[in-house]
Amino acid sequence: MVKNIIDVRNLSKSFDISSKDPGLKGTIKHFFRRKTKSLKVIKNISFEIKEGEVVGFLGANGAGKTTILKILCGLIYPSEGSILVSGYLPFRRKENFLKNITLIMGQKQQLIWDLPPIESFYLNASIYDLDKFEAKKRIKKLSEMLEIDEELFIPVRKLSLGQRMKSELLAALIHEPNILFLDEPTLGLDINAQRNLRKFLQKYNKETNATICLTSHYMKDITSLCKRVICVHNGTISYDGELDQLLKKLSPVKEILIVCQSEEDAIKLENSGFTVVNKNKNEITIKIKNNSITSSLKAILNNFEIEDLYINEPPIDEIIGKILIKKDYDL
Amino acid sequence: MISDLINHKIFTLLKVQYSNMLEYRVEIALWAISGIIPFFMLNIWTNNNLNESINISDIMLSRYFLCAFFVRQFSVVWVVFSFEEDSLMGKVSPYLIQPLNPFFRYFAQHLAEQITRFPFAIIIAFFFFIFNPESIWVPNIGILFLSIISTFLSFLIQFLIQSIVACLCFWTEKASSIERLLFIPTLFLSGLLAPVVSFPDYVKSWIYLTPFPYLIDFPANLLSGNAINVSGGLSMQILWILLLFPAFKKIWSEGTKKYTAMGS
């Protein structure tokens, strides 16, 4: 049985924030007397993540997904609840725990700006107690996986965003962590760089059985990497389960474009009881429930003269978008 | 364990930071030149014969201010500004989840900068001796060794004071404003503008209870060969480090609980 590597029970986090009324009066009032209030950004959430799992955290801006990652990696203290990551309390930041994890934040860098990335890699290697021989071996292996070579010797400030992100990944993975926290890792990257990064993460997960917790606004990151998603809405979990199940629940029907051989066939099909979305001469678009697609298509092919047909999956961004804006979406 | 840290992590940090500092060699030359306040003060003191009132000869006074310049060059600290910026920009976050306290990075950065400054400081001293040939002296090896230690201890005291202030970033985002308050006593009581011996006796006795005279006055007097209580001064420096280090550890541990990872 695969063991839980992350165990979160009744986790809550509040931040004290100060508010200020607009205008000069508000500014003066704010100077003499600050109004602060406690804002609960994570509200009593619980979940577990198994070793080797890749889990995507979905949610609108400000939903609390990045805060969850920051708590899991020990960057910020939780206000309530219990968390165990790899058997450690993250916020204590014990050396052995820190050697097991990494956090990558899109567009936030740890590489030294004026030096080539290779210098930062050796620095990180020494911080994680790797000897030079082992560091060299790992840099070689990771740079091959990430397909970077000459870039290692060019000052960071002269690298493109994609090259820099790859170098950031290498710096963050040199100690071979078995838990990766990735906060928007593909932010700002072009399509090819995004695809390469996803390919790399898939490979890394497969080769090392590392657990990956990921937040991203690019649905492609989620769909190609994560089997399981946790949807966060206003600091609470609105869904925790398989991505496929979520998509089926949110989009129970598919649209099918059928090209009939004649317009008469299209009219016959229109009147045969299917829900018609659109009709144009011999082309007709109908809606069919996911659970009756096979039987419905069989019936159509047997009873009508069909030239061609296309099954349209609704855009995943659109489906996920629905749960980002509404908590009580029927999940 | 400690030797491993010094041999491996700190040495690598120092190497990397030194490479980084060499990227800024022009800036460092300018910073070195900008630290010539002691020479202006020397000019004011000698032109107004102020040294007569405290029974210090012109030569000893010029040696004192040259040494004050040197001590200042190798003990100047700006960690509060670096930490504040990194903290506000969210750059501290990746460092916090590494098994090395981020202050070691800043420590190495300072040491690397001091190494980079060294040749510029020597050049400035060379020009100083051209204009003041009567001030040339060669300190004996024992005094030189103790002065280097004392200057390093002065650097440690200043680094710890500023690190404590820097940790206030966890509570208030502008901790550097608190540092500016500390700059005033540092400027007046450290011996940068005037040797502490020039203060009235009743003020002096209070000044020596603070860490300030051990930042510049004590190491500069030691190096310039003035008669001072060497063991007493070094003991006070060590005592201040022993007091400040646990205070820093405590404020760091409490502060990180408050960290909200702003900007990241």
Q: What 8-state DSSP symbol labels residue B157?
A: H
Model pLDDT, residue B79: 93
The answer to whether A3 touches A51, Cβ cutoff 8 Å, is yes
Mean pLDDT taken over chain A: 87
Neighbours of A29 (CB within 10 A): 14
Q: What is the pLDDT of residues B55-108, one digit of tens each?
A: 778 888 889 989 999 999 999 899 999 999 888 888 888 899 999 999 999 999
**Per-residue confidence (pLDDT) for residue B201, from 0 to 100:** 87
pLDDT of residue B9: 78
Rg (CA), chain A: 25
Q: Are strands A179-183 and A283-289 parallel, antiparallel or unpaired?
A: unpaired
- Exposed/middle/buried for residue B136 (C-beta within 10 Å: 0-12, 13-18, 19+): exposed
pLDDT band at B248 (very low <50, low <70, confident <90, very high): very high
User: Which residues pair with residue A309 across a beta bridge?
Assistant: A258
B259 Cβ under 8 Å from any chain A Cβ: yes
CB contact under 8 A, B19 and A95: no
In DSSP terms, A259 is beta-bridged to A283, A308
Query: Which of A103, A105, A126 lies closest to B8 in CB terms?
Result: A126
**Span B101-128, pLDDT tens digits:** 999 999 998 998 888 888 888 988 898 8
Residues 6+ apart with CB under 8 A from B85: B91
Residue at A250: amino acid letter:
L
* Average pLDDT score over residue span A281-287: 87
Q: Inter-chain contact B99–A95, Cβ cutoff 8 Å? A: yes
Which residue in chain B is spatially nearest to A77 when comparing CA positions?
Answer: B257
Tell me the pLDDT tens digit for each residue of B159-204.
999 999 999 988 887 788 888 888 889 988 998 888 898 888 889 8
pLDDT tens digits, A178-210: 999 999 888 877 888 888 889 989 999 999 999
A93–B257: do the CB atoms touch at under 8 Å? no
Which of A184, A181, A182 has the alpha carbon at shortest distance from A216?
Answer: A184
Q: Name the nearest CA neighbour of B18 among B121, B110, B95.
A: B110
In this prediction, residue B264 carries a pLDDT of 53
CA distance A200 to A195: 9
A99 pLDDT tier (thresholds 50, 70, 90) = very high
B16 and A119 in contact by Cβ < 8 A? Answer: yes
User: What are A271's two structure tokens?
Assistant: 């009147």
* Per-residue model confidence (pLDDT) at position B6: 56
pLDDT score, position A8: 96
**CA–CA separation, A138 and A132 (whole Å):** 10
Per-residue pLDDT at A43 exceeds 90: yes
pLDDT, tens digit, for every residue of A49-93? Answer: 999 999 999 988 888 999 999 999 999 999 999 999 999 999 999
Beta bridge partners of A277: none
DSSP secondary structure code for residue A111 in this structure: S
**CB-based contact (8 Å) between B262 and chain A?**
no
Q: Which residues of B touch A170 (CB under 8 A)?
A: none
Q: How far is CA A144 from CA A158, A255, B186, in A?
A: 21, 43, 53
CA distance B104 to chain A (A): 11
Parallel, antiparallel, or unpaired: how do β-strands A80-85 and A4-19 relate?
antiparallel
Pull the structure tokens for residue A152: 């290692």
Predicted confidence at residue A128, as pLDDT, reads: 92
Q: Nearest-CA residue of chain B relative to A13?
A: B260
pLDDT for B261:
76
Q: Give pLDDT tens digits for B31-59.
A: 777 777 777 777 777 777 776 777 778 88
How much is the average pLDDT of B151-164?
A: 96
Q: Output A292-297 pairs: Cβ under 8 A, ≥24 positions apart.
A: A293/A254, A297/A256
Give the E-state strand segments of chain A in sequence order.
4-19, 35-50, 54-58, 80-85, 101-105, 179-183, 211-215, 228-233, 236-242, 253-260, 275-280, 283-289, 306-312
Inform me whether the pLDDT recorded for B5 exceeds 60. Answer: no
Task: Please name which of B209, B170, B210, B184 lies closest in space to residue B86, comparing C-alpha atoms.
Answer: B170
Q: Has residue A116 got a pLDDT over 70?
A: yes
